[in-house]
Structure 1
Amino acid sequence: MTPGADSLDQRFAEAMGAALGPDFPSDIVLAVSGGGDSMAMLTLAHNWAHVWGTRLWVVTVDHGLRPEAGNEAALVRETCDELGHPHTTLRWRWDGQGNLMDAARRARLDLIGRWRGGLSHVLLAHTRDDVAETFLMRLARGSGVDGLSAMTPLREVAETGATPLDPEACDGARPPEAAVPSGLTIVRPCLDMRRAELRHYLRVLKGRWVEDPTNEDDHYERARIRKLLRGLEAEGLGAETLAATAGRMGRAREALRARAVWAWEQCGQEGGAGDLVFERDRFAALERDTQLRLLAAALQWVASAEYRPRAAALEGLLERLLSGGAGTLMGCAARAERDRLRVWREYAAVAGTSVTVGDTALWDGRWRVFHPDLRGHTVQALGEEGWRQAAPAREAHVPHALALCLPSVWQGETLRACDALGVGPGATTTLEQGETQGAGFKGFLLSH
């Protein structure tokens, strides 16, 4: 829809209908920072929810990076009090590791994911300007079709895990828990709106917002790109043009994704230990882009990773596999065998990771573990000691390297269960990986 053709309220309602209709969730989370985009989204969502009877839960993440952040969270809370919606502030403190902006973004989703209880949908206020800025940022990094594709209105997010939320990090109400854990879906209803439109909407309604000074701070890449984009408008490379190009790249991504699904059906299969196997000759006959797409998706699926590996590292691993070699990447191991290529979880990536069996326990982001006789026991990677203890009962032919990373249940130093090796009562683990796991790796390909 052309921006400005209808009121923002109508466009917001249409975007919500396209994303979640016609049977809307009874409760939805809104991530609101206090900036113009998210405060406008809050007002739009308030008007929409009043019509459709949906309850809104508003959450603000205070990253602790600026002294003004507390006041901005307070502004959101005051607005929510006026509108009649519960509000919560979640606090995060950077540990100084890695890229700050990337760490803050990941922490934001992680905190919301652990706070949300049984709610499945989180609204974010990304705009058409954000799409254009992201396009330029990724273009500067040499991204291909996937990286240059526009953000999607809906995105499934891998489960954040079972780590409880620190009560000290949460100030406000918490949604009720669900009997059955649900996946998390990001919803972006403002992707077809411009930043200036949203601020105009707030001005007309006399709404309040704050301008984040980091948006003009050249220390941050997005701030520099935002300034660059202003200068490109006169050359015909403004936000509308770049966002439209990102949309076309998105259509190309869909075609390439369909090709990868077809190729998987011709040459791939899921192994018995959470691994993936490709027929070596058929895989080698595929065009390079499809090979890279399949390998990247295999690494993501096995490692429960949110993002694809960097292009150079991925291409290097592919070259080694096609040459008959092996390698590791993203916490996965891969090797060429006589007539196949195999990708599985690297033991070093899961060694020392454990959870306790309760009603359910998710280990390594993909294995759901449950059995009434095993409550209170520990789930961890099998490892060498588990391989040794499993020897008398081993029924399945699982290669040693794959077996080491299998989920197993322990009581102290004693192995109690490992389904893949025929140890224990059986049916203690199922492979789960977000909303697409029911369709296996093919479902993952379709959604990534």
Structure 2
Amino acid sequence: MLLSDSSALKREFSSALVTLLGSHNPSHIALAVSGGGDSMALMVLAAEWCHSQGVRCSVITIDHDLRAGSADEAIFVARQAEKLGLSHRVGRWHERVDGGNLQQKARLARYRLIDELRDGADVVLMAHTLEDQAETVLMRLRRPAGIDGLAGIPQKRRVFSQQGDFWLLRPLLKSSGVRLRAFLNDQAVDWVEDPSNSDRKYERVRMREHLPELARQGITAQDLSNIAAKMAKSKMQFDAQVHQVAEMLTEEYSGDLRLRLSAFCGLPSLLQKRLFSKALCWVSASPYPPRQAARDQALDLLLLGKAQTLHGCMMFLWKNCLYITREAQAIAAQPVALRPKMLWDNRWRLTMSQALESDALWVAALGPKEAAKLRPHLDIDLPFKALVAQPAIFNQTGFLCAPALRPHSGLQAQIWPRDFIESLRPY
């Protein structure tokens, strides 16, 4: 790589990062670095930028322990980070279980460990590149992907965490991996090659192999990335419409949603389906929407007056509203010991005062028996089916309270991380 191109890459990185940060001025930026060429380039570029801006910069490496040599790669990153004057922390994934999608489990574990190790950083940078985006679009094209799928990897995402929210940014998403490795050669910086990047059992590797042939046919990685960028822009505009509509016809009650039926039925079909999907995700605290075919079938039957269960939710018509509540059977059946601060069912933030910490308390779904006893004493009108899934606190003698429904001294229950309307706000 020519020196001029190294300088150009640094300027492009700086411009991309400044654009993604917007008005936010972080005091600490964490970098997710595996030791591969892309992430090593990210570390070199970000270290220089942070130093010039007086911003603290640290490095996180996640060792998934899925193959021999991964621990050595973490040590390699630590040494390279030290040369750049950066602190380094390693997170190791130990709690694997057999079965299921291993790559998906590893990805979720990676984000969880990054959250635990970011040491207060409210910005985390990741090194996804132009080729990663192109491969993602190809993978989504193989499926019946809609606007969300074809929008590909987002450049910017807000992550909600009990340890404090942070921004996940990808400033290299428009940069080529080939160019990044040429930059590393120019800077005399080594990197490691992950053998899994050439293992054809992974779909992403197989998609990567198609990129050269597609380029010969006139469809480049840049073209595929441009598709993702256009879809991402359309997605943001569509979500702005959904947010506006939801403000007019949606009400939130103790973690449940009511959609005014007449107004909902008057919406265009695409808006109905997207709002319905967003509502299911919010009530179930799921980061992923239901499959389109299952969603469409459930919505059609629901509007005919037939109660449905889908995506961990129960839906039915009630008092001229489309009512969506948590499905009690989708919640863990066993009571969980109550801690001073905890997240229950991945959506209820429970807190108790120090005065109660010595008591033996448990949290579980309210259940039909206690719901029947409690309902006559409530100030709010909720259908019985919705009460059953509400968080309830129990002690050694039995039911103590349902803090989301009735105040109780020293106990609080709040929806986390934000209310439904706020969750729809595009940024």
Shared fold, TM over 0.5: yes
Corresponding position: 1:350 with 2:331: yes
CA contact (8 A) 2:6 2:186 kept: no
- 1:219 is displaced (CA, Å) by 0.6
The separation in 2 between residues aligned to 1:405 and 1:184, in whole angstroms, is 30
What's the CA shift string for 1:226-261, capped at 9, x where partnerless? Answer: 011121011121111111111111121122112212
Larger mean CA deviation between 105-114 and 215-224 belongs to 105-114
CA contact (8 A) 1:324 1:337 kept: no
Change (3 A) 1:284 1:23: closer
Corresponding position: 1:56 with 2:57: yes
Larger mean CA deviation between 351-360 and 374-383 belongs to 351-360
- 1:348 is displaced (CA, Å) by 1.5
- 1:40 is displaced (CA, Å) by 0.5
Change (3 A) 1:355 1:24: farther
Give aligned pairs, total: 420
What's the CA shift string for 1:118-176, capped at 9, x where partnerless? Answer: 333221111111111111100111101111014322212343x6xxxxxxxxxxxxxxx
Change (3 A) 1:399 1:337: closer
Aligned residue in 1 for 2:224: 242
- 1:47 is displaced (CA, Å) by 0.6
Aligned residue in 2 for 1:176: none
Change (3 A) 1:355 1:134: same
Corresponding position: 1:218 with 2:200: yes
What's the CA shift string for 1:334-370, capped at 9, x where partnerless? Answer: 1233522111111112243655555532222222222
Aligned residue in 2 for 1:43: 44
What's the CA shift string for 1:10-33, capped at 9, x where partnerless? Answer: 222222212225553222221111
Kindly report which structure 2 residues correspond to 1:262-273, keeping only aligned pairs within 5 A, or say none: 262-270=244-252, 272-273=253-254
CA contact (8 A) 1:273 1:402 kept: no
Aligned residue in 1 for 2:102: 100
The separation in 1 between residues aligned to 2:288 and 2:405, in whole angstroms, is 31
Give structure 1 stretches of 5+ with no counterpart. 162-180
Aligned residue in 2 for 1:196: 178
- 1:306 is displaced (CA, Å) by 1.3
Corresponding position: 1:370 with 2:351: yes
Change (3 A) 1:392 1:260: closer
- 1:393 is displaced (CA, Å) by 4.0
Larger mean CA deviation between 224-233 and 252-261 belongs to 252-261
The separation in 2 between residues aligned to 1:251 and 1:238, in whole angstroms, is 20
The separation in 2 between residues aligned to 1:222 and 1:387, in whole angstroms, is 48
Per the alignment, in what secondary structure is the counterpart of residue 428 of structure 1? strand
Amino acid at match of 1:442: I
Per the alignment, in what secondary structure is the counterpart of residue 370 of structure 1? strand
Per the alignment, in what secondary structure is the counterpart of residue 9 of structure 1? helix
What's the CA shift string for 1:184-230, capped at 9, x where partnerless? Answer: 32111111211111111101001111121222211100000001112
Aligned residue in 1 for 2:153: 151
The separation in 1 between residues aligned to 2:84 and 2:180, in whole angstroms, is 18
Amino acid at match of 1:133: E
- 1:385 is displaced (CA, Å) by 4.4
- 1:297 is displaced (CA, Å) by 0.5
- 1:304 is displaced (CA, Å) by 1.5
Per the alignment, in what secondary structure is the counterpart of residue 424 of structure 2? helix
- 1:415 is displaced (CA, Å) by 2.7
Aligned residue in 2 for 1:403: 387
CA contact (8 A) 1:354 1:363 kept: no
Match of 1:429 among 413, 419, 422: 413
- 1:388 is displaced (CA, Å) by 5.0
Kindly report which structure 2 residues correspond to 1:51-130, keeping only aligned pairs within 5 A, or say none: 51-93=52-94, 94-130=96-132
Aligned residue in 2 for 1:308: 289
Aligned residue in 2 for 1:415: 399
CA contact (8 A) 2:404 2:413 kept: no
Match of 1:445 among 403, 424, 427: 424
The separation in 2 between residues aligned to 1:362 and 1:389, in whole angstroms, is 26
The separation in 2 between residues aligned to 1:414 and 1:421, in whole angstroms, is 18
CA contact (8 A) 2:342 2:349 kept: yes
Change (3 A) 1:355 1:51: farther
The separation in 2 between residues aligned to 1:158 and 1:355, in whole angstroms, is 23
Aligned residue in 2 for 1:381: 365
CA contact (8 A) 1:302 1:332 kept: yes
Q: Identity, % of aligned pairs? A: 36
CA contact (8 A) 1:215 1:223 kept: yes
The separation in 2 between residues aligned to 1:345 and 1:60, in whole angstroms, is 37
TM-score, normalised to structure 2's length? 0.91
CA contact (8 A) 1:60 1:76 kept: yes
Larger mean CA deviation between 421-430 and 65-74 belongs to 421-430
CA contact (8 A) 2:254 2:405 kept: no
CA contact (8 A) 1:396 1:422 kept: no
What's the CA shift string for 1:410-431, capped at 9, x where partnerless? Answer: 3234333323442633872222
The separation in 2 between residues aligned to 1:425 and 1:403, in whole angstroms, is 21
Amino acid at match of 1:387: A
The separation in 1 between residues aligned to 2:26 and 2:200, in whole angstroms, is 40
What's the CA shift string for 1:269-301, capped at 9, x where partnerless? Answer: 21x221111122221222221111101111111
Amino acid at match of 1:325: K
The separation in 2 between residues aligned to 1:227 and 1:274, in whole angstroms, is 46
Give structure 2 stretches of 5+ with no counterpart. none
Amino acid at match of 2:220: G
Per the alignment, in what secondary structure is the counterpart of residue 26 of structure 2? coil
Per the alignment, in what secondary structure is the counterpart of residue 393 of structure 2? strand
CA contact (8 A) 1:331 1:345 kept: yes
CA contact (8 A) 2:60 2:117 kept: no
Amino acid at match of 2:318: E
Aligned residue in 1 for 2:139: 137
Larger mean CA deviation between 315-324 and 5-14 belongs to 5-14
